Each structure stands twice: as structure tokens, then as C-alpha cells.
Structure 1
Amino acid sequence: MDQEHVIKQAHEYIEPFFEEDVTGHGVDHMKRVALWAKRLAIQEEESPFLAELAGLLHDLDDAKLSSNTQRAKADRKAKLQAWGLSKENCDRIENAIETVSFQKGRIPQTMLGKVLQDADRLDAIGAVGIARTFAFGGAKGQKIHSKDDGEKTSISHFHEKLLHIKEKMNTDTGRKEAEYRHKTIERFLVEFERETMV
């Protein structure tokens, strides 16, 4: 199996699903997650090929993005098989993708799952994470900020989720990068609070 060709096919496959996305889950997100998953996999002696492939395909059946998650999952598995992956590697990728979600709170049991989850979480924090948070909030009609502490806003999302990500990383390399990106978020929130104290 020509791994480079499979990666190229995966890029082409995801393009129509995410090219029009305005929620921060576009093709650029898939590519960043794929590259970070590959980088982390190399550090953790996991297959960089499987990690990159899982990164490219990880959001196809996300309930926030897909109207038919079961169909999307079945289609992804069929594509993996058509590209020549063994049943074992198809299952490894599917298992890793099943544990990637922050909301479900699952802890991956495999190294492939750990590097994929870390890669996805890294893209939720730092400068890119800040941009994605406001893109998602805007696309969903969410306010940027509210004086009402109970209201769901883009800023409340930082406190409810993003500021806790660094504590939940699985790999040393992922943890170090998360620490750096966490500081970017903290600096942003301090400045945001200063500018909105009117």
C-alpha cells in the first residue's frame, strides 16, 4: 500500500465535507490535527501514517457537524478498506476516533487514541483555539460575552472547557505544547477583561 497516496486520497475525501465550514471545523482544522497527530506519534513510537490518517478523518461523524453520524462512520470505514488498510488498522483508527471527543470524557486506551486526542485538543487552545472559539460561537449565534454568569457565551467556553485542557493531555510532548498554548489563552483573557471593564 502506498501510504502517501492514501493520505492524498484522504485529503481529497474530506474536502467536500468541510470546505464550507465556518465553525472552526474546516479542512484546515483536520490538517492541523493530522500533522500534530503525526508529530506526536513519532515521539511516542506509534504509526505516524495511522495517526495522520485518523487526524484527517476524525470529525466526519462528529454530531456537531454530521446529520447522520452512523452513516458517516460506516462510509469512513468503507473508505479505509477501499484504500487497502487491514481490518486491524481500520479498527485501530475507528477506536482512536471514538475516544477523541472532549465532551464524552473518554480516556483513550491506545497510544494512537492518545496522540489523536492530544492533537485535537491542541487545536482547541492557543491562538488558533481562540480564533476557533469565536468562529464557532458566531456561527451558532452565541454572544461573545455576558455579565450574566449563567449564560453560555464564547468567553464562558474558555472557563468551562479550554482552561482545563492542559491538565488532560496524554503525552509529554502534547503536555508541553499545551502549557505554552494555555499561557496564550490566559494572556488573552486578562486583556479581554481589562478592555471590557467599563
Structure 2
Amino acid sequence: MNELQQQQLAAATTYMQQVLGSDHSGHSVDHIQRVVHLTTTLCQQEQVAAFVPLMAATLHDVIDDKVVSDVEQARQALSNFLGVQQVSTADQNEIWLIIDRLSFSKNLDQKQELPLNGQIVQDADRLDAIGAIGIARTFYYGGHTGAPLYDPAVKPRTQLDKATYRKQSPVINHFYEKLLLLQDSMNTASAKKIAAQRQQVMLTFLDEFKAEWQGES
């Protein structure tokens, strides 16, 4: 990255911290820091320029409706920020494309095509949703929304679209409705290797959770 891009990325980090600094849904600054770190790693392994992926990784949750109360206002604020920072039009367009097509819910009705830069950010974001961190974030978000912990009588949903995805269900069901599906959705070879290990962490946890739920020692 050149000096201007480094300054723009630093400004984006400050902007993200201001928006997400008080988040308690699992989409806070620490989540972004991990996604940025993973994005950096994947950019190096895929040998791509890091500026656009890192900007998208840093800013991808500042307009998320789980985090902000007014999405349109948040979008306008982000657009203004990118303009003030003199991010080029081409880079702005790609950053917006990545942010708008990134999420799991956006891909339920129809898979959204992403360039390699976007695939890297999507992989990084999804890697932070699985494994030990994914387990912790799932229960953290479930507590945030008041979702029940587990109900063996409520089976995981198998047919989800964007309209029904956010409807509340037991926290454990979220593993089957989303998290265990993410390994097969990874785009890059590097992310697939990381996902395989994190997948096993979740499977082991679920086996242990269900055994203990039933009172087994």
C-alpha cells in the first residue's frame, strides 16, 4: 500500500471503532480486528493487493442492521466518509460491492458473485463465525437477543430464506442452520484448510453439549 492508502485505512479503522465501539452483539471491534488479521493472511497467501480487501474487512459491519438502527443513514455516513478520505471511485465501488454481497443472509435466496478481493473478505468473516470463537460469538449473540439455549423438540430449520433467517430459534440450532454449512462455502484454498480444523472444534463441542444436556458424565 502507498502512504495515502495507509492513511485511508487508519482513518477507516478509527471510523469503525466509533461505530462499533459499544456493540454487544458479537460484531464489535474485536471481531473486526480478527477479520482484518485473517484478511491480511489470506491476501498474502493469495498474492493480491491488500488495500481494498482490508478496507472492506474493516468497514463491513458499520452498516449492518444487527448493529445500527438506521441502515440508510449509516450507508450515507459511510459514503460521505469514503468521499472525504478521497478513496478512488473504482475502489469505493469495489468496497461497496463486497460489503453488499458479503453476508450469509444475502446469499440465501441467490448466491452473490464476488471478485477475488471479496471472496477473501467473505472467507475471513466466515472463519470468524466458526471454531471456538464462533461458538463463543453464537452464545453471546443468543444472549443478546434473548434466544433460548436449546430445545431438543425444536428441530433445526432446513429451508431458510432471507425473510425467515432472522426469526428466533434455539442457539444450538444456529450451528446446523448456518455455522456447520460455512466450511463448504469457503472460496479460497487457504480458508478451506483453516475451516476444516474449526469445523471439527464445533462438532466435538456439539457432541459434548448434547451429552451433558442429557446428564451424561
Please give the range of the TM-score, normalised by the shorter of the 2 chains: over 0.9
After TM superposition, list the pairs within 5 Å mapping 1:32-181 onto structure 2: 32-105=34-107, 106-150=111-155, 152-181=169-198
Which whole-Å CA distance do the structure 1 matches of 2:126 and 2:15 have between them? Answer: 23
Unaligned runs of 5+ in 1: none
Structure 1 contact 51–115 (Cα < 8 Å) conserved: yes
Q: Is the 8 A contact 2:101 2:112 kept in 1?
A: yes
Distance 1:74 1:33 in 2: 24
What does the per-residue CA deviation read over 1:68-105, in whole Å, with 9 as the maximum and x for residues that have no partner? 21221222122122222110001011101111110121
Inter-partner Cα distance in structure 1 for 2:42 and 2:151:
37
TM-score between the two structures when normalised by the length of structure 1: 0.94
Give the Cα separation in 2 of the matches to 1:167 and 1:120. Answer: 14
Moved more, 148-157 or 160-169: 148-157
* Count of matched residue positions in the alignment of Structure 1 and Structure 2: 198
Rounded Cα–Cα distance in structure 2 between residues aligned with 1:54 and 1:196: 40
In the TM superposition, structure 1's runs of 4+ consecutive aligned residues that sit over 4 Å from their partners are none
How far apart in 2 are the matches of 1:45 and 1:91?
21
Q: 1:108 to 1:47 in 2, by over 3 A?
A: farther
Instruction: Show CA shifts across 1:120-155 (max 9, x none).
Output: 100100111100000000000011111222481110
Report the Cα distance in structure 2 between the residues aligned to 1:138 and 1:185, rounded to whole angstroms: 19
Deviates more, 1:78-87 or 1:92-101: 78-87
Deviation at 1:48?
1.0
Q: What CA distance in whole angstroms lies between the structure 2 residues aligned with 1:81 and 1:41? A: 25
Q: Distance in 1 between matches of 2:98 and 2:47?
A: 16
Q: TM-score if structure 2 supplies the norm length? A: 0.86
